[in-house]
Chains A and B, each alone.
Chain A
């Protein structure tokens, strides 16, 4: 069962932008799209671990700041000709707050 924990106010993340959260196992990037949905992905590009949170967000994708791979925020899959995938985690918005699934965070912490 998913157990949601409150991470931050939605407004703390800019529209078409991202912020990172620190976890025991490296950073997770939390993205906010132009339409105010949120997605959580490992903050490491499948190419050469570029910090995805620093990329340009467009539609439901982010372009990696290092070599412009385009990563789907929904699936974590690299788009187009590039191949690779980054882990995604359940995230949602409720009453202006960003919620993440606690179980995954715990799992990351103890892993």
Chain B
């Protein structure tokens, strides 16, 4: 008699087993197929194209009625198996039917994980697993709002599918970037950009707190920051758990999944299992490629030959039209690994290879994945790449030939090849501009606009100049920011503004960074440019700051710190002095010094004590003096009309007002001010970045002084009549400096580049421009005019202490 095979679950894995069985030995078994879903095998992974409307359900059915009839498979769809009795070798269906088997194959797949938030059982809260879920989502259209929890593969496919139907979709993701298990920050940035272009709202680092309902139906998702996201449907796509309940009840060995050996046999020799429900050699599975290998082995085992399942490298692609991404292998940095990074900002392409022992072990790609199979092959076969290392990142087309000479390549370009994407300028137009007399980059830019916008084609334009002019053209060696990029600071600032780049990964990608995450030279500059240009959007990154600005204190040569509280305009009180003295005693401060900036420095404070000493100084009303910052330092004053027989205006009062307006602001380099009460200039105002000298008729404002490595006298900007106008001019010039100067240029250096006339034309002569600058300055100060010491002392004190103390424990 033919042996009886019962299969539980008509899924992707068991479907493959059926095919192998009926191909290789039709009739070897009398097969009965149970499926809890009321249908047979279909291509589950194609539910996403069904959702987005690119395919219909009928197109993704893999086995139809005719197929089962042909293969003589008894189908019991819509029937769940309730129990397995391994001693009697029977299964019990939900309706009570008991069927005997000789061999049993479990392919029950997995269950979507539902986060047990309050309200998760409301109507309209669904997972994304089967056709029913898909149909719920297909009902969403332009009148609906949907929230998807989970920014992984499934969540994003769900989001894109519903967005394609016109629904207003928000993705809520707990991690800092999308698809963090498959993508690095740079690729995730490009992906996010593409999704946002599709109208999807993406919220990363967002924690869900509760599902809110009305009349038993979901109405909104509440985040832990208090935001409510209204929705008609809430999709949770946060992970899967192997569906092992049946196997566990039957007493089979189960860990995270049902334990199987290399032949797909469970702890019972007559029971096999395949698919997402299994655990093999410690691993569980969530993609179909390995399931197909398992299916082949399971069929071999059932037919008496012996195959062997071996786990292989996996690769991931996202099935969202227009989001071309690929990820494979292990792409985390680790000991002994190296990165090769390639970015083509114009095409939105990012490629990163991770190399270990001369083999590629991981790859992440976005934008152009045409070569992904080739790279995947290198990973899988552990190919030795030492011979092609230099050109590896460019893909298979570049292997074998000799490395190309970039100039020869440019010379070979046709006249209609586009060089400048922003302005649509072709090589021919640049050649014409050169023929008409433009013999350097500036002139080409001025006459043809080429490289005038984002600047990324600057190198190409220079190459066209070199090819056309031959020896008459000397390639300029413009100093780039650092080894991570070929761009200059000026290029970078232009890109950040013109392309609206508001995050570091955005800059790294769009400006073609050559390293994965910058270095100690470019990151502080970038951090400043981003917060100066986008004070509201960009969040300051402490890890991209030099230690002094990260810990709001000056590091000393022995690793201790100095603490300088603000003394507004150089004025203090007996109470403040007492508090400083108490703090010096309490924290055993070795040196107390009066600085050159009219205030008191506590030198030699231990890093661990910083939050405490700050809290004490805060309690006495003092705040950080920013003696460590590329930002406002001091406003020195003299005694002025209060006491001095020559004083013409209240220089002390104006100095205090200026300091209270400007404090906390970040600038390209440090910013020092002084206000003197008369031209005798006791506050040394004419060697400060911005100096004010009071005269009978008003206030002379001058800028660009210095008294450090360079000693310079300031240049007059203007004279104004009132304190209010003085403050406005100072704010405006500070903002202009902040928006335009190169990082680490003091005002005098910047002024020498742009010219005092240009500054006067904006800040003094153009009232509207001055007002706009003042307004932008105030917007930024709404975020930054606050005491970092208070914030760190209350919220981040812990980070100043050792993360563990093993000195006592290890002594035993």
- Chain A residues within CB distance 8 Å of chain B: 7-8, 12-17, 19-24, 27, 30, 33-37, 39, 48-51, 54-61, 63, 65-66, 68, 70, 74, 105-106, 108-110
Contact = CB atoms under 8 A, between A and B. Distances in A.
B806 interface: yes
Contacts of B607: 51, 54
**Residue from A12, A17, A34, A74 whose CB has the most chain B CB atoms within 10 Å:** A34
B557 A105 contact: no
B518 interface: yes
A109 B516 CA distance: 37
A108 B807 CA distance: 9
Given A21-B803, A22-B804, 8 more contacts: A7-B804, A14-B543, A19-B802, A21-B805, A21-B806, A24-B806, A59-B516, A59-B517
**Residue from B335, B515, B523, B810 whose CB has the most chain A CB atoms within 10 Å:** B810
Interface of B: 184-185, 331-336, 339, 515-520, 523-524, 542-547, 550-551, 555, 557, 559, 607, 799, 802-807, 810-811
23 contacts: A7-B803, A19-B803, A22-B804, A23-B810, A24-B807, A27-B802, A34-B516, A34-B517, A35-B332, A35-B516, A37-B333, A39-B335, A51-B559, A55-B520, A56-B520, A56-B523, A56-B545, A58-B520, A59-B515, A65-B546, A65-B555, A66-B557, A108-B810
A37 B332 contact: yes
A56 B515 contact: no
B804 A56 contact: no
A48 B517 contact: no
B810 A109 contact: yes
B803 A16 contact: no
Contact of B518 (A24, A58, A74, A110): A58
A18 to B, nearest CB: 9
Contacts of B547: 54-56, 65
Contacts of B551: 54
Contact of B555 (A36, A66, A106): A66
A68 B559 CA distance: 14
A96 B381 CA distance: 31
Contact of A35 (B333, B518, B546, B559): B333
- 4 closest A-B pairs (Cβ-Cβ)? A109-B810, A63-B520, A19-B803, A56-B520
A48 B556 CA distance: 12
B553 to A, nearest CB: 10
Contact of A58 (B336, B523, B559, B806): B523
B803 A12 contact: yes
Contacts of A8: 803-804
A109 B803 contact: no
B333 A58 contact: no
A3 B125 CA distance: 46
Contacts of B802: 19-22, 27
Contact of B333 (A14, A21, A33, A55): A33
A74 B335 contact: yes
Contacts of B517: 16, 34, 58-59
Contacts of A56: 519-520, 523-524, 543-547
Contacts of A109: 806-807, 810-811
A70 B806 contact: no
**Residue from A49, A50, A60, A70 whose CB has the most chain B CB atoms within 10 Å:** A60
Nearest to A102: B810
A30 B516 CA distance: 21
A74 to B, nearest CB: 5
Given A59-B519, A60-B333, A65-B546, A22 B807 contact: yes
Contacts of B555: 51, 54, 65-66
B364 to A, nearest CB: 11
A89 to B, nearest CB: 12
A8 B805 CA distance: 11
Contacts of B336: 74
Nearest to A108: B810
B805 A50 contact: no
Nearest to A50: B559
A16 B334 CA distance: 14
Nearest to A107: B810
Contacts of B799: 14, 19
A105 B810 contact: yes
B704 to A, nearest CB: 28
Contacts of A63: 519-520
Contacts of B546: 56, 65
B342 to A, nearest CB: 16
Contacts of B545: 56
A105 B812 CA distance: 12
Contacts of B332: 35-37
B806 A13 contact: no
A58 to B, nearest CB: 4
A22 B801 CA distance: 10
Contacts of B184: 35
Contacts of A30: 803
Contacts of A65: 546-547, 555
